[in-house]
């Protein structure tokens, strides 16, 4: 019997239809109750619901619209399954089919359809007027408004659910639930040293209230060291902050509250994430080879060039935050100029070294940046230029191709001096 109950529960949990069916049955019961309570519109007069003809039109339009919305939601769900299978893994399908919000949305639309269809049978028309189940019509209108709100919410939900962070989060949460069931904790986990403050949940560090942390450290007369950089994934119960000095006066909850963790990186304080996304676009366009889509890669390099040029002459934060007296109260891992340069060029250079268009665009960007950046920041750029020449030279088939690939060109191939007509000196 226990195994039979387990199989039945597992089957119901993984069935897409079970929750929608329950909602439809509930809607049928609700329709029968409302038409029985107010069959002739005494509770809700026709001044609110309209005459029998208008009520029939309202219920018909509701039924037709809900049938269409139900088909739309099912289509979106099927599309989400196909995208997830093709982009991530076929094994992710079960997670999507078990999504309760999707099941509830399907059930609400289908239930509203069933409610309206059953309510129409109690509307009667005669030459003298007729009867309208006023309460049922009013409930149908309320259900439609709920469906409109649900549709807008569901479109946001299904698009958010297709993010990598959401899908991996589903799998990870289910895995941890199974882990606690199969291998329960025995209470032997070692605690952290007293100078470390742990995080309570896992997530990506995407926002830090530096001013608040400095104020808390100044009040306790200590120094705080944030152990993770913005954009890092922090595991649950891992050390988040190190306290240098007396921790006694530090409120741990307030320290944790100054750091925001979420399912994925954002651009709130993470400039490197924007560069990372542009690099991903360039890499993906060259994923099957240097000649798959070099034009898209060049367009991404255009933006990377512009972003790095905007950074080149700006003072970058050291990661040391001081109080009003000049005492360092907070230390945060912060990406420096060399890190921005490597993030921008390393992977694009490696994946695009075999494409003349990409190499020429990269060389043009690096030459411009070397001439624009302050002297102290030029060595990192020169190193990238030397590596580009080395890799492009190795990838080229002939000396002529090698020489042509290393000519700087802002558009990849088309605007360099060796391909365009020189300006007329008489003009």
> What CATH number did the domain enclosing 225 receive?
3.90.1170.30
Q: Look at residue 188 and tell me whether its pLDDT is greater than 80.
A: no
* Local confidence band at 49 (pLDDT 50, 70, 90 cut-offs): confident
Nearest to 70 by CA among 137, 126, 20: 20
192-234 pLDDT, tens digit per residue, is 888 899 998 899 998 999 999 999 999 888 999 999 999 999 9
Question: Over pLDDT 70: what percentage of the chain?
Answer: 93
Task: Tell me, yes or no, whether 81 and 125 share the same domain.
Answer: yes
Q: Are residues 65 and 90 in the same domain?
A: yes
If one counts the domains in the chain, the total is 3
Q: What is the CA radius of gyration of the chain?
A: 32
Write down which residue in 177, 212, 243 finishes a domain: 177
Q: What is the pLDDT of residue 273?
A: 92
Count of CB atoms situated within 10 Å of the CB of 419? 13
pLDDT digits over 239-289, tens only? 999 999 887 778 888 999 999 998 888 888 889 999 999 999 999 999 888
The last residue of one of the domains, among 112, 147, 177, is 177
249 and 280 both lie in a single domain: no
Query: Based on the domain organization, do 29 and 163 belong to the same domain?
Result: yes
Does this model's pTM top 0.85? My answer is: no
| Percent of the chain residues past pLDDT 90, beyond the cut | 45
Q: Is residue 30 located within the same domain as residue 98?
A: yes
Does 130 lie in the same domain as 64? yes
The answer to the question of residue 165 being in a domain is yes
Whole-angstrom distance, CA of residue 229 vs CA of residue 277: 18
Entry field: residues in the chain: 427
Supply 374's token pair. Answer: 């302050």
Q: List beta partners, residue 243.
A: 224
pLDDT band at 321 (very low <50, low <70, confident <90, very high): very high
Give yes or no: residues 360 and 290 share one domain.
yes
Q: What is the mean pLDDT of residues 105-124?
A: 91
Q: Evaluate if residue 189 carries a pLDDT over 70.
A: no
347 and 279, same structural domain? yes
End-of-domain residue from the set 149, 177, 205: 177
Per-residue confidence at 322, pLDDT binned at 50, 70, 90? very high
**Is residue 419 a part of any domain in this protein?**
no
Assess if residue 53 is contained within a domain: yes
Please indicate, yes or no, whether residues 364 and 311 belong to a single structural domain of this protein.
Answer: yes
Instruction: Work out the number of other CB atoms within 10 angstroms of the CB of residue 195.
Output: 14
How far is Cα 25 from Cα 160, in angstroms, rounded to an integer? 30
Cα 28 to Cα 120: distance, rounded to the nearest angstrom = 12
Mapped onto helix, strand or coil, the DSSP state of residue 258 is: coil
Whether 324 is in a domain gets the answer no
> Looking at residue 376, what is its pLDDT?
95
Confidence of residue 162 (pLDDT cuts 50, 70, 90): confident
Does residue 186 fall inside a structural domain? no
pLDDT at res. 9: 65
d(CA 399, CA 396): 7
Residues 216 and 297 in one domain: no
Q: List all residues 6 or more positions away from 386 whose beta carbon is below 8 Å from its beta carbon.
A: none
User: CA-to-CA distance for 166 and 118, rounded, in angstroms?
Assistant: 39
Using H for helix, E for strand and C for coil, what is the string for 319-380? CEEECCCCCEEEECCCCCHHHHHHHHHHHHHHHHCCCHHHHHHHHHHHHHHHHHCCHHHHHH
**Burial of 313 (C-beta count, 10 Å sphere; 0-12/13-18/19+):** exposed
List, in order, residues 6 or more apart from 286 with CB less than 8 Å away. 292, 293, 294, 297, 351, 352, 355, 358
pLDDT of residue 118: 92
* pLDDT of 115 above 90: yes
pLDDT of 15-38, one tens digit each? 778 888 999 999 999 999 999 998
- Is the per-residue pLDDT at 312 higher than 70? yes
Q: Does residue 416 form part of some domain?
A: no
| Residue-range definition of the domain harbouring residue 354 | 271-319+334-405
Q: E-assigned strands of 154-222?
A: 196-198, 203-208
Say if 80 falls within a structural domain. yes
Pair (276, 391) in one structural domain: yes
Same domain, 313 and 340: yes
Q: Note whether residue 356 is domain-resident.
A: yes
């Amino acid at each position: 019997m226990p195994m039979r109950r387990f199989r039945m529960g597992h089957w119901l949990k993984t069935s897409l239809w079970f929750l929608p069916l329950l909602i439809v049955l509930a809607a049928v019961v609700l329709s029968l109750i409302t038409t029985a309570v107010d069959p002739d519109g005494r509770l809700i007069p026709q001044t609110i619901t309209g005459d029998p003809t208008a009520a029939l039109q309202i219920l018909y339009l509701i039924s037709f619209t809900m049938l269409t919305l139900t088909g739309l939601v099912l289509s979106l769900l099927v599309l989400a399954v196909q995208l997830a299978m093709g982009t991530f893994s076929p094994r992710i399908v079960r997670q999507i089919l078990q999504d309760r919000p999707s099941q509830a949305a399907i059930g609400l639309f289908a239930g509203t359809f069933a409610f309206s269809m059953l309510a129409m049978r109690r509307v009667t028309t005669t030459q003298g007027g007729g009867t309208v189940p006023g309460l049922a019509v009013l409930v149908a209108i309320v259900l439609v408004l709920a469906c409109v709100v649900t549709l807008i919410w569901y479109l946001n939900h299904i698009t958010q659910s297709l993010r990598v962070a959401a899908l991996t989060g589903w799998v990870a949460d289910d895995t941890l639930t199974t882990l606690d069931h199969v291998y329960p904790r025995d209470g032997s986990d070692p605690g952290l040293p007293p100078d470390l403050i742990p995080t309570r949940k896992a997530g990506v560090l995407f926002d830090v209230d530096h001013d608040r942390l400095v104020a808390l450290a100044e009040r306790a007369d200590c120094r705080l060291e944030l152990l993770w950089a913005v954009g890092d994934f922090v595991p649950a119960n891992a050390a988040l902050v190190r306290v240098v000095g007396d921790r006694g006066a530090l409120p741990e909850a307030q320290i944790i509250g100054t750091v925001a963790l979420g399912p994925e990186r954002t651009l709130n304080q993470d400039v490197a994430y924007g560069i990372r996304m542009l690099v991903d676009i360039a890499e993906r366009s060259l994923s099957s080879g240097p000649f798959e889509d070099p034009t898209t890669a060049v367009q991404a390099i255009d933006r990377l060039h512009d972003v790095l040029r905007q950074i080149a002459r700006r003072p970058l934060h050291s990661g040391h935050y001081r109080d009003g007296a000049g005492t360092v109260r907070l230390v945060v891992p912060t990406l420096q100029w060399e890190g921005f340069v490597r993030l921008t060029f390393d992977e694009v250079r490696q994946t695009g070294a075999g494409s003349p268009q990409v190499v020429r665009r990269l060389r043009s960007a690096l030459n411009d940046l070397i001439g624009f950046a302050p002297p102290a920041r030029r060595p990192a750029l020169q190193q990238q230029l030397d590596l580009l020449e080395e890799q492009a030279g190795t990838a080229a088939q002939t000396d002529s191709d090698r020489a042509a690939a290393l000519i700087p060109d802002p558009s990849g191939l088309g605007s360099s001096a060796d391909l365009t007509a020189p300006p007329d000196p008489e003009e």
